[in-house]
A = this chain, B = another copy of it.
Amino acid sequence: MSRPKILLCLDTDPQPSVFDGVVAVDAGVDYLFRHGGVRPADVRDLVYGAMFTRGGEDLKNTAVFVGGSDVTAGEAVLHAVRESFFGDVRVSAMLDSNGSNTTAAAAVVTARRHIGLKGAVVTVLAATGPVGSRVVRLLARAGAQVRVVSRKLTHAEGACDRVAATVPGADLLPLQAKDADDEASALEGAHVVIACGPPGVQLVTAAALTRNRTLEVAIDLNAVPPTGLEGVSPADRAASRDGRLYYGAFGVGRTKMRIHHAAVTQLFAANDQVFDAEEIYEIGLRIEE
């Protein structure tokens, strides 16, 4: 008889995420150990408690989920989780602070539903934030020509350098966009745009979108109006306008949620998995089949 499934939720916010908890319940987790305000220094003892209580086949029934609103803090916690492992004595772990990995995976899976990514020109707006930089990584691995757009060129270049260091042969172009005209220029010739900007900040005007002749898919991950791409509604889900398909944040959200569920379920398949953007994207691809 197998052990109950326990998910150790290490959340960097003072109050641990209810969203992540509900998804875990619906993914079949039996017990949630929800910890708020987790700092890297807290991690070792907590993860030891997961590693040293069950043995052999049972070890895979305990897993770790790292969450919270601060992605950088979550990355530091995931690092501490991995540092706690002793060879084979380890548990599976997943990072999804602020939904960054499941959102990035869902955005790229959504684009891929309509267009072959290999060789496609994809513009990523606000590409240096936690979600944007993950979207760039996933696109680069998929063989897209990625335009990496940021307000500051040095930020865009830095993001490209970091991705290039881990993705051999990545095809990346850093671009600066100081205003709506620059953003519009970055869309010229692109087949896909994925806007990863902050809530309530418009990046591209409706006029610029209408003028553009190459875009086939336009995805906006900002759920709070005004959206990043003017005229996109958060509820858009393959909405056909101007001869192309539009997706808003909630339109991508169902795919995001399915990926999140599947990833938590998959965490308990073995004790040696670490799910960051790439692994969660692979899970997304399997769902699409």
Contacts and interface: CB of A to CB of B under 8 A. Distances in A.
A8 interface: yes
A3 B26 contact: yes
Interface stretch (A28-36, A125-133, A263-271): A28-36
A50 B37 CA distance: 20
B54 A18 contact: no
Contacts of A45: 15, 17-18, 69
Contact of A17 (B21, B31, B49): B49
Contacts of A34: 33
B32 A15 contact: no
Chain A interface SS verdict (over half): mixed
Copies in the complex: 3
Given A15-B46, A31-B32, A53 B23 contact: yes
A38 B33 CA distance: 17
Contacts of A220: none
Contacts of A69: 45
Contacts of A37: 14
Given A26-B54, A33-B34, A49 B19 contact: yes
Contact of A53 (B22, B31, B38): B22
A3 B261 CA distance: 14
A50 B4 contact: no
A217 to B, nearest CB: 25
Contacts of A52: 19
A20 B8 CA distance: 13
B15 A42 contact: yes
Contacts of A140: none
A31 B29 CA distance: 10
Nearest to A43: B15
Given A6-B21, A22-B53, 17 more contacts: A3-B25, A3-B26, A6-B22, A8-B18, A15-B35, A15-B42, A15-B46, A16-B35, A18-B53, A19-B53, A21-B49, A22-B62, A23-B53, A25-B31, A32-B33, A33-B34, A53-B257
Interface of A: 3-4, 6, 8, 14-23, 25-26, 30-35, 37-38, 42, 45-50, 52-54, 62, 69, 257
